[in-house]
Structure 1
Amino acid sequence: MIKRLLVVFAVLAATISFSIPVSADGATSQTQNFHGTFPPMQVTPLCGGAAPGGTVYATGNAVFHITVNAAGDTWITQTQEAWFTLVPDTGTVTYTGHFAIWFGVSLNRNNSVLHDVFNIHATGSDGSTISLNIVDHLSMSASGQINMFMACR
């Protein structure tokens, strides 16, 4: 699910970044708010199978913000929270709960940083629980050095 979200946000960020002219005077910002039901999303198992894959149905809120300055430096953030139901691909346990996601990107001519935090709390129809905190980071320096980590607990 995280990889899918990262790809979606990266494509959205690139689309918005390149749609704002670099020659624009000063910084240009855009903010988009979403409220209500999100489209169903197919997810893969998380954290080594601690959360099963399946289809997520969610209702919540999201805010997406982007700022691009005259030099083309770009800052992007997205925050989302939702109540959800996860119907697993296999098994009979359905999970209901809440998730919160924060995602941020900083890009300039020399460096780029991408990081996010994802928290999930859910209860299964059998009484089992899922509680996960996922943090990941990816950065690339001007020399091309890539640093990346992911923590899942």
Structure 2
Amino acid sequence: MLRRLLLTVGLLIAGLLFTGAPAFGAPPVTETTTQKNLVETFVDVVPTCEEGGPPYTITTTSNLIEHSTIFPDGREHDTFTQTGTFVAVPLEDPSLPSYTGKFTVWGGFNANGATVNGTFTFNLRGTGSDGSTISAHQVDHFNARPDGTVNEFFHCH
């Protein structure tokens, strides 16, 4: 889940850095997209602050809202929130616990033609079939400058 989000963020940054600015004088263009009861199934590790882990088949059911505003001078602001439930079943080792729980992902991105920055958060709480619990809170922030340098801050607990 986190890897797909990071890929999406990277593609968004590339698109913002390499697209031209809209015509001056036009009003900002805003777009909002809402999806309810979105079901996605994929194979990944159960998100924790430790890297790696055994593969799980993860199914999420969530609501997603995305909003973007593009200004005539090329500035752009994008944000999204996705929240829902998940079921994670071990793919290869049936002796491992399955997990159920809730998650929320939020992201906000800004571009002004010279710099791009963004922040996203990921929160997860779950309970295993063996009574164990998992939780993760991740924050990632980046700032891409015109000279190509990128500063990034990542925290997980």
Q: TM-score band (shorter)?
A: 0.7 to 0.9
TM-score w.r.t. the length of structure 2 is 0.83
> Distance between the aligned counterparts of 1:12 and 1:145, measured in 2?
17
**Which secondary structure state, in structure 1, belongs to the residue aligned with residue 50 of structure 2?**
helix
Counterpart for residue 118 of structure 2? 114
**What number of residue pairs does the alignment pair up?**
153
Q: Is it true that 1:127 corresponds to 2:128 in the alignment?
A: no
> Distance between the aligned counterparts of 1:110 and 1:16, measured in 2?
10
Identity of aligned residues (%): 31
What RMSD in Å do the two structures reach over aligned CA positions?
2.8
TM-score w.r.t. the length of structure 1 is 0.85
Q: Is it true that 1:76 corresponds to 2:88 in the alignment?
A: no
Contact 2:121 2:137 in 1 (8 A): yes
- Stretches of structure 1 lacking an aligned partner (at least 5 in a row): none
Structure 1 residue 41: deviation in Å? 2.3
> Distance between the aligned counterparts of 1:13 and 1:145, measured in 2?
13
- Stretches of structure 2 lacking an aligned partner (at least 5 in a row): none
Structure 1 residue 34: deviation in Å? 0.7
Paired letter, 2:100:
T
In structure 2, relative to structure 1, the CA distance for the partners of 1:142 and 1:16 (3 Å cut) is: closer
In structure 2, relative to structure 1, the CA distance for the partners of 1:15 and 1:113 (3 Å cut) is: closer
Which residue of 131, 138, 142 corresponds with 2:146? 142
Counterpart for residue 38 of structure 2? 37
